[in-house]
Amino acid sequence: MATWFPLVTRLRNIAEHALVAKDEPDPFRHARTTKANWLERALVAPYHVNFHAEHHLFMHVPCWNLPRAHRLLAEKGLTEGMLNAPGYLTVLKAASSKAAA
């Protein structure tokens, strides 16, 4: 607990669940998928945890197949209604501006 793990866990939790409607009936909008670059994947989002909406939709899919699940959903046109973010900083900025308001 004396490492950067608590910070990373908090950042991921914000990116995955912040600014998500509590009573959202659409399961595609229960969590957010965040695009992660190679550095974010190495330090913040290992095991494809950035595909969090897919994880909520298909909890039994192994982590290494979450990018494939995302591609299959995209091919079917189902990612349009999902909550997606272009990166972790984008979500953090939106969450902090919402908190300041």
SS3 80: coil
Write down the pLDDT at residue 4. 84
Q: Residue 5 in contact with residue 58, Cβ under 8 Å?
A: no
Mean pLDDT of 43-68: 95
Look at residue 99 and tell me whether its pLDDT is greater than 80. no
pTM: 0.87
Nearest to 34 by CA among 99, 86, 94: 86
Q: Where are the domains of the chain?
A: 5-95
Per-residue pLDDT of 8-55, as tens digits, reads 999 999 999 988 888 889 999 999 999 999 999 998 999 999 999 999
Indicate the helix (H) or strand (E) that contains 50. none
